[in-house]
Amino acid sequence: MAMKSTRWLTIAVVLILVMGLVGCGAAAKEGEVDPKDVTVDLVSDPVVMKANLPGKLIVQTTGLSSDITPDIQIDIRKPDNKGLPEYVKTASIGNGQYAAEYTFAAGGSYTVYLHVMQGELHITKKKKLDVQ
């Protein structure tokens, strides 16, 4: 009888340990963000960008962790989609906004990818930007 209760006690202890380890593994790491909670958008200043005139590209974010400074890059593809993309690094301007000065060489409809990287998180959003 003592042998059976020892075996059950051992099984119970092992189950408790396994459940504890599974629970710990499921907990989010400090500063970790669920990608579905993050929003990323692109605006420009001026609102309508013009070729050969400097302007500002602004990436607006919400839902990122305040524990880790994000790295946000803008990937600009030419309207004809030929050649290599141009990567533009941004700087924080506060309130979840990151900006970069940029001058478009020609008018057209540009494809712009916004890369948001923070710790293990990497979100890419595709946007269109018309330049006159």
Report the percentage of the chain scoring pLDDT > 70.
77
76, 110 in Cβ contact below 8 A? yes
CA distance 58 to 36: 21
Strand-pair category, 55-62 with 39-45: antiparallel
Sign of CA dihedral 104, 108, 109, 110: negative
> For domain 35-131, is the CATH number 2.20.140.10?
no
53, 98 in Cβ contact below 8 A? no
104, 132 in Cβ contact below 8 A? no
- pLDDT tens-place string over residues 64-80: 998 899 999 999 999 99
Q: pLDDT confidence of 7, banded at 50, 70, 90?
A: low
Residue 27, pLDDT above cutoff 50: no
Q: pLDDT confidence of 109, banded at 50, 70, 90?
A: very high
pTM reported for the whole predicted model: 0.75
